[in-house]
Amino acid sequence: MRLLRKAEKSAKEMRVVKLVVGSETFNLCLFVGRNRDHWVTESSCDCEDFRYNVVYRKLRPFCYHTLTAEISMRKDEVKVIHLTLDQFRLVREEISKNGKSLLLRRLLFSKGAWQSRP
User: Who's near 47: CB < 8 A, 6+ residues apart?
Assistant: 36, 38, 63, 64, 65
Rounded CA separation 93/116 (Å): 27
63 binds Zn ion (CB under 5 A): yes
108 binds Zn ion (CB under 5 A): no
Instruction: Give the nearest distance from C-beta 64 to Zn ion in angstroms.
Output: 6
Kindly tell me which of 61 and 85 has the beta carbon lying closer to Zn ion: 61
62 binds Zn ion (CB under 5 A): no
Instruction: Give the nearest distance from C-beta 25 to Zn ion in angstroms.
Output: 25
Q: Which residue stretch of 4-12, 58-66, 82-90, 103-111 sits at the interface with Zn ion (rule: CB under 5 A)?
A: 58-66
15 binds Zn ion (CB under 5 A): no
- Note whether 89 and 26 are within 8 A (CB): no
As beta bridge partners, residue 18 has 29, 80
Q: Which residue stretch of 1-9, 47-55, 73-81, 95-103 sits at the interface with Zn ion (rule: CB under 5 A)?
A: 47-55
- Note whether 20 and 82 are within 8 A (CB): yes
50 binds Zn ion (CB under 5 A): yes
- Return the H-helix or E-strand segment holding 97: helix 85-98
